[in-house]
């Protein structure tokens, strides 16, 4: 493991260092410096030491997928050659996941399937609620009623709020699934959701409609089709802000939607969803949840507390912690809070991403950047926040641009091949090079080499890089 040193004088925009430092302060009246790693000095022999300060919370990071579909319970997955629940769970275990939410469209009937069981996997019962918007409702005991449009457009937003309230009464969580995808933009006003799906499917490929940006015109058209515009109702300002970020597709706009809520002080978790219907494994991307155990209730609570990060399958491993009292113990983890008006030391460790980079994002702006020169790099910096501030990480993997002229590059950049879109195009190009599973899946199930996964996670706004990981924040408040 390498420790890296950087010195950043934020107030004058002068940046020096062995690792790169990105410009732009995140606001919040904070100042920061990055400095060498220091180690604590033991006390003198025989000295009675005070009680040990609180350390990091007990638990571990559990890997899983919060968005997947089975056949015949999701009709589209059934038409496309999807698999029954038991096979979905088996594939998740083969992929090394610890939990899977089977979120079939507007139903919980899958829980009664004879194959609805797993060996080592924690199953999270859920549904993908809605039609014009898609909400992942996870941890349910019964189906949540859909919007009754016979009650009129003036009741739609109150019915959406009632649906979120019902999820929480059942002990579940609500996720805005691909909220900036064309046709399923999250236009309703309630902010009672727990998480935003900031990464759906492959970052660069996404779903066919998710490859493209949505915009104000698409939102206006949807508000009219729902009868909301005629009543003078709009979507949230956070959605309007998000869709004005252009060029990165629906995943990037979803990330900006989530950040718009963070900037208003709302603690929402960042999660990902493979949205698997067929052909590929669950866990593309993988959502890590910190919890004391693998139990359903602990995993759901970890999401409520925003102790989450999302990463590519087989990609970077990320640790992000903070030491708020200067004792050398990094006791705060993702989702935790540190005090205002106190110098806090932050630490990030990234493994398995040599050649990539880490962007430290503070209040929505790139605050620092570090180049990843090895497969195990650690960086530290200090920050003192005078007002509420959130800090999170974007981790990027380097893309071998020699792939650019191949079918893989075309697929990642255009989102289609030979008139096919999404996973169909992925299968056309990927099956010859992938890992075929012949253990009962209705269609061949493929696992692609990681360098191909990296190309499919290509980030159009960060040329030469692919999305490797997105963390929820540590808050100063």
- Residue 87 belongs to a domain with what CATH number? 3.20.20.140
> How far apart (Å, rounded) are the C-alpha atoms in residues 370 and 372?
6
**Residue corresponding to tokens 């449009």:** 149
Residues 70 and 200 in one domain: yes
User: What is the per-residue pLDDT for 31?
Assistant: 55
The whole-number average pLDDT for the span 26-30 is: 42
Residues 101 and 71 in one domain: yes
User: What is the per-residue pLDDT for 427?
Assistant: 59
Residues 146 and 187 in one domain: yes
Residues 113 and 179 in one domain: yes
Residues 385 and 405 in one domain: no
Boundary residue ending a domain (284, 311, 338): 311
Q: Would you say residue 68 lies in a domain? A: yes
Residues 388 and 446 in one domain: no
Q: pLDDT for 158-190, tens place per residue? A: 999 999 999 999 999 999 999 999 999 999 999
Which domain CATH number covers 359? 2.60.40
Q: Work out the pLDDT band at 109, boundaries 50, 70, 90.
A: very high
Q: Where are the beta strands (DSSP E) in 114-154?
A: 122-129, 135-138
| Half-sphere exposure of residue 405: CA atoms within 13 angstroms, side-chain side | 1
Burial 250-274 (b: 16+ CB within 10 A, else e): bbbbbbbbbbbbbbeeebbbbbbbb
Residues 288 and 193 in one domain: yes
User: What is the per-residue pLDDT for 46?
Assistant: 46
Is residue 302 classed as helix, strand or coil in its secondary structure? helix
Q: Would you say residue 231 lies in a domain? A: yes
Cis peptide before 213 (omega within 30 of 0): no
Report percent pLDDT > 90 for the chain.
74
Residues 195 and 148 in one domain: yes
Q: Would you say residue 198 lies in a domain? A: yes
Query: What DSSP designation does 42 have?
Result: P
> How far apart (Å, rounded) are the C-alpha atoms in residues 294 and 304?
15
Between 28-37, 67-76, 262-271, 310-319, the lowest mean confidence (pLDDT) is in 28-37
Q: Would you say residue 49 lies in a domain? A: no
- Stated as kind and residue range, the H or E segment containing 157 is helix 156-169
- 15, two tokens: 């940046």
Q: What are phi and psi of 376, to 5 degrees?
A: -155, 90
Other beta carbons less than 10 A from residue 16's beta carbon: 10
The whole-number average pLDDT for the span 134-155 is: 98
Q: Would you say residue 55 lies in a domain? A: no
User: Pick from 285, 246, 274: which is nearest to 471 by CA?
Assistant: 285
Q: Work out the pLDDT band at 207, boundaries 50, 70, 90.
A: low
The whole-number average pLDDT for the span 408-422 is: 51
Residues 233 and 146 in one domain: yes
**Residue corresponding to tokens 């963070």:** 262
Domain count, the chain: 3
- 398, two tokens: 């380097």
User: What is the per-residue pLDDT for 49?
Assistant: 56
- 300, two tokens: 């759901």
pLDDT above 80 for 260: yes
Domain boundaries, position 142: 60-311
pLDDT above 60 for 44: no
Residues 193 and 86 in one domain: yes
> How far apart (Å, rounded) are the C-alpha atoms in residues 410 and 397?
19
User: What is the per-residue pLDDT for 9?
Assistant: 28
Other beta carbons less than 10 A from residue 337's beta carbon: 16
pTM score: 0.88
Residues 143 and 158 in one domain: yes
Higher per-residue confidence, 325 vs 48: 325
Boundary residue ending a domain (288, 311, 334): 311
User: What is the per-residue pLDDT for 4?
Assistant: 53
Boundary residue ending a domain (267, 291, 311): 311
Q: Would you say residue 45 lies in a domain? A: no
Q: Would you say residue 46 lies in a domain? A: no
User: What is the per-residue pLDDT for 123?
Assistant: 98
Q: Would you say residue 344 lies in a domain? A: yes
Q: Give 34's contacts (C-beta < 8 A, 6+ positions apart).
A: 5, 6, 7, 8, 17, 19, 21, 368, 379, 380, 381, 382
pLDDT above 60 for 332: yes
> How far apart (Å, rounded) are the C-alpha atoms in residues 275 and 405?
28
Residues 169 and 266 in one domain: yes
**Residue corresponding to tokens 């015109």:** 217
Q: Work out the pLDDT band at 432, boundaries 50, 70, 90.
A: low
């Amino acid at each position: 493991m390498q420790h890296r040193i950087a010195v950043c004088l934020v107030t004058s925009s002068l940046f020096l260092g062995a690792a790169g430092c990105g410009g732009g302060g995140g606001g919040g009246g904070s100042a920061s410096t990055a400095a060498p790693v220091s180690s604590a000095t033991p006390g003198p022999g025989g000295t009675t030491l005070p009680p040990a300060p609180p350390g990091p919370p007990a638990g571990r990071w559990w890997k899983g997928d919060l968005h997947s579909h089975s056949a015949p319970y999701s009709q589209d997955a059934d038409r496309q050659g999807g698999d029954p629940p038991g096979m979905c769970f088996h594939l998740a275990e083969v992929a090394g996941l610890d939990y899977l939410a089977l979120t079939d469209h507007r139903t919980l009937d899958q829980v009664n399937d004879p194959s609805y069981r797993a060996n080592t996997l924690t199953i999270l019962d859920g549904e993908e609620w809605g039609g014009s918007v898609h909400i992942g409702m996870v941890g349910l005991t019964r189906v949540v009623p859909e919007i009754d449009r016979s009650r009129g457009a003036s009741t739609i937003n109150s019915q959406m709020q009632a649906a979120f309230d019902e999820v929480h009464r059942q002990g579940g969580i609500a996720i805005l699934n691909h909220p900036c995808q064309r046709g399923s933009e999250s236009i309703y006003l309630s902010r009672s959701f727990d998480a935003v799906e900031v990464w759906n499917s492959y970052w660069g490929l996404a779903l066919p409609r998710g490859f493209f940006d949505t915009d104000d015109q698409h939102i206006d058209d949807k508000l009219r089709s729902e009868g909301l515009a005629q009543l003078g109702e709009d979507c949230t300002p956070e959605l309007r802000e998000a869709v004005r970020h252009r060029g990165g597709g629906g995943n990037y706009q979803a990330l900006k939607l989530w950040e718009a809520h963070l900037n208003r002080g709302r603690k929402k978790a960042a999660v990902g969803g493979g949205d698997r219907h067929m052909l590929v494994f669950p866990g593309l991307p993988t959502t890590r949840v910190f919890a004391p155990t693998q139990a359903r209730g602990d995993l759901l609570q970890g999401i409520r507390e925003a102790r989450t990060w999302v990463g590519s399958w087989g990609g970077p491993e990320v640790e992000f912690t903070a030491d708020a009292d200067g004792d050398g113990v990094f006791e705060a983890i993702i989702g935790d809070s540190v005090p205002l008006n106190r110098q806090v030391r932050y630490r990030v460790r990234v493994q398995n991403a040599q050649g990539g980079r880490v962007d430290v994002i503070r209040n929505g702006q790139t605050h620092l950047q570090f180049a990843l020169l090895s497969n195990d790099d650690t960086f530290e910096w200090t920050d003192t926040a005078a007002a509420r501030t959130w800090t999170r990480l974007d981790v990027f993997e380097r893309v071998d641009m020699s792939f650019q002229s191949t079918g893989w590059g075309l697929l990642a950049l255009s989102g289609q091949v030979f008139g096919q879109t999404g996973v169909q195009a992925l299968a056309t190009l990927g099956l010859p090079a992938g890992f075929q599973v012949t253990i009962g899946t209705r269609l061949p199930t493929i696992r692609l080499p990681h360098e191909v996964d990296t190309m499919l996670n290509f980030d159009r706004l960060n040329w030469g890089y692919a999305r490797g990981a997105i963390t929820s924040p540590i808050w100063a408040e």
